[in-house]
Amino acid sequence: MSVGYHLSQAWRMARRRFTTGLWIILVTAVATIGVVLTVAGVYGKNIDLMSLSEQVVVTVFLEMDADSLDVLYVREQMHAMPEIANVGVVYPEQARADFERRYGTATDRLLPGNPFPITLTAELQAEYRTSLGARSAVNKCRKVAKVDDANFRSSFVNALQDRKREGATFLLVIGPVILLAFLILLVVTIRHSIELSPEEAQILTLSGAGRLFIATPYILFGMFFVAIGVALGAGGAVGLFQAMLEALPWIVGIQPELLVAAAALTLVVASILTLLISWNKAKY
């Protein structure tokens, strides 16, 4: 009987305070979109860092008379260096084919005799993907026999460091500030939406109603509109992702479970806030 009573009270309240419910829907939807976009932003930053990290490599050029045994020797020496994770080999034939594919012309007359040396590309360990780490690896490689020269592209290293700083700022400052702002907005909206005065709580308490009995219709009222808001916000976030797909193709790689978890987190937090605020207002 009490379940039916609480549901009927919550439904009556929803009809009487429909405008208030719309505010809860709007704020919860915006908060859901904000949380989902924040999670997507963190994912995008990680994708950006991974992409740049893969381009932070040390390139080693062997002497023109180097042979396959020299390649094995130099690779072995490079693998022994703590800065280096993996070593790949680009042979002169491959380098020439890449050049012709890139510039769309045969190189027989332009570059007779295939002047490309055997090239080794070294992927650095994650902790050494800095200017200091790359420079250390380059200096060591230059000392290996049969190595003519070694270098790295400092622009990629500098860009990686910049992205890491931006990512740290986003994770430690911008992201938490955004989430805190949405949390405060939710608290204020839900608190003002639950119109249970102390006098009303007092009358109900003196009539023999328990605190849970008093709070339940308000909890149901709030959670009903919160659930609608989260559903609309999740739909809005999906629509935004579809609109941004062409400009930000990495969005395709986001796991749906991650976005569902972000929306579910908003639902759980908003529901807990509704429960706590209703419970607190039902106190006499």
Measure CA 75 to chain center.
36
| Gap between the Cα atoms of 147 and 30, Å rounded | 59
Name the token pair of 165.
Answer: 């700083």
Domain boundaries, the chain: 2-51+160-281, 57-152
Q: Is the pLDDT at 198 greater than 60, yes or no?
A: no
Q: In this predicted structure, what is the pLDDT of residue 144?
A: 93
Asked whether residue 63 carries a pLDDT value surpassing 60, the answer given is yes
Q: What is the pLDDT of residue 1?
A: 46
Q: With bands split at pLDDT 50, 70 and 90, how would you rate the model's confidence at 203?
A: low
Query: Tell me, what's the pLDDT at 140?
Result: 93
The answer to whether the CB of 12 falls within 8 A of the CB of 216 is no
Q: What is the pLDDT of residues 104-155, one digit of tens each?
A: 555 555 555 666 788 998 888 877 777 778 888 889 999 999 999 998 875 5
pLDDT higher than 60, residue 157: no
3-state secondary structure the chain: CHHHHHHHHHHHHHHHCHHHHHHHHHHHHHHHHHHHHHHHHHHHHHHHHHHHHHHCEEEEEECCCCCHHHHHHHHHHHHCCCCEEEEEEECHHHHHHHHHHHHCCCCCCCCCCCCCCCEEEEEECHHHCCHHHHHHHHHHHHCCCCEEEEEECHHHHHHHHHHHHHHHHHHHHHHHHHHHHHHHHHHHHHHHHCCCCHHHHHHHHHCCCCHHHHHHHHHHHHHHHHHHHHHHHHHHHHHHHHHHCCCCHHHHHCCHHHHHHHHHHHHHHHHHHHHHHHHHHCCC
Average pLDDT, the chain: 76
The architecture of the domain spanning 57-152 is 2-Layer Sandwich (3.30)
- In the predicted structure, residue 168 carries a pLDDT above the cut 80: no
Residue with tokens 């976005």: 259
